Amino acid sequence: MNEAHLIAGLGNPGAKYDHTRHNIGFRVLDELASVWGGTWSDEKKFKARMSRATVEGRALHLCQPQTFMNLSGEAVGAVSDYYKITPARVLVIVDDTEQPFGQIRLRAGGGNGGHNGLGSVQQHLATADYPRLRIGVGRPSSGRDMSAHVLGRFAAEEVGHLGLVLQRVRQQTECWLQQGVAKAMNEFNGKLDFPDETTEKEIT
């Protein structure tokens, strides 16, 4: 029998944070639940919105912490403890300002890179050895505050490509579930090649 896995997408609760760069983890989880047939419910004992699904015979717990980003580990730790899910079977999905938009990077463990959500997860799992998938959201333009950038919404041209990013992340997540972290890293880490709209117009 396959053991359960936990996939946590980090973000901030509340309508004013919907569709912001910092909430890309929530956006991914919504996509996964939609494709995998999961439904969401508020579960106060975990301080999270939770959804369940079964993929390739694997029981999955999808988690959107409702604690605000900096305390995300409270929810992730509570769910992993309750269902006895080891850190190696916990995947955390977050935004990453150190990578350009369209680049994704899965790692089996490591430091939090200054990301407060990952730092909280590390604290509550009592280890840095858990998989994390970082989704590039880029750095702010010159003179713009970092906080305003991550709490702002994607630019129009980015919104047009966001569906491809979500699809790629879902494919990488499914590969992680089925074939392990090393295979998923080798197959999917990197920057997406978005269609060149100018070239497409010239061709047509």
Average pLDDT over residues 124-149: 92
Residue ranges per domain, the chain? Answer: 5-203
Alpha helices in 13-71 (DSSP H): 24-36
Pairwise pLDDT comparison (20 vs 196), residue with the higher score: 20
pTM of the model: 0.93
Is the pLDDT assigned to residue 143 strictly greater than 80? no
**Residue recorded with tokens 């605000």:** 68
22 catalytically annotated: yes
Residue 105 near residue 192, CB atoms below 8 Å: no
Average pLDDT over residues 139-156: 89
Is the pLDDT assigned to residue 198 strictly greater than 50? no
Please give the pLDDT value at position 204: 39
82 contacts: CB under 8 Å, gap ≥ 6: 45, 46
Average pLDDT over residues 110-130: 94
User: Among 22, 61, 115, 124, which one carries the catalytic annotation?
Assistant: 22
* Widest CA span in the chain: 56
- Beta strand extents in the chain (DSSP E only): 5-9, 41-43, 48-55, 58-65, 90-96, 103-107, 132-136, 190-191
Is the pLDDT assigned to residue 147 strictly greater than 60? yes
Q: Is the dihedral of CA 159, 164, 166, 172 positive or negative?
A: negative
Average pLDDT over residues 116-143: 94
Out of 3.30.300.30, 1.20.1530.20, 3.40.50.1470, 3.40.710.10, the CATH code matching 5-203 is: 3.40.50.1470
Question: Using one digit for the tens of pLDDT, what is the confidence trace for 23-71?
Answer: 999 999 999 999 999 999 999 999 999 999 999 889 999 999 999 999 9
Average pLDDT over residues 15-28: 96
pLDDT-derived band of residue 113, with 50, 70 and 90 as boundaries? confident
